[in-house]
Amino acid sequence: MAILYTTVGVWFPKIKKRLIAHWIRRIVYDYHKQVGNITCIFCSDDEILRINSYYLSHNYYTDIITFDYSKNNTVSGDLFIAPNVIEYNSKKYGVDYFKELHRVIIHGILHLCEFNDISDNELKIMRENEDKALEKLKL
């Protein structure tokens, strides 16, 4: 199966695609799942807002929207990622842009691995798993 990357209305961020794909596979396997088809779609602010409004009825910008197509134990989905929102958030929270970008990517992957972040407890667990995953990324 494949981990693919594309863009809609933005330049492709300077990430190491093969390394990120290997990292994603490792994290998915850590949760005893198989990798199906995963597409990371880097998109403009306008596109993320359109998707958020149309599919989720939210009228605000967000850094990622995950569409989960997983079946059984195979993780598949589309991750719509807004690099400009990530850049804004990285400055707002005083963190490195690429660290925040990688956190957002793995956040989407964790959603595909059946983690949620709706309640405070779920969010705490999500953050802990993001941190564990980021420790495994060797840049």
Helices and strands per DSSP (H, E), number in the chain: 5, 4
User: Above pLDDT 90, what percent of the chain?
Assistant: 98
Question: Following DSSP, what letter does each residue of 90-129 receive, concatenated?
Answer: HHHHT--HHHHHHHHHHHHHHHHTT---SSHHHHHHHHHH
CATH class belonging to 3-136 = alpha beta
**138 pLDDT more than 80:** no
pLDDT in tens, 8-28: 999 999 999 999 999 999 999
Q: How confident is the model at residue 139 (pLDDT cuts 50, 70, 90)?
A: low
What pLDDT sits at residue 1? 79
- Report the distance separating Cα 134 and Cα 126, nearest Å: 12
* Mean pLDDT within 105-115: 98
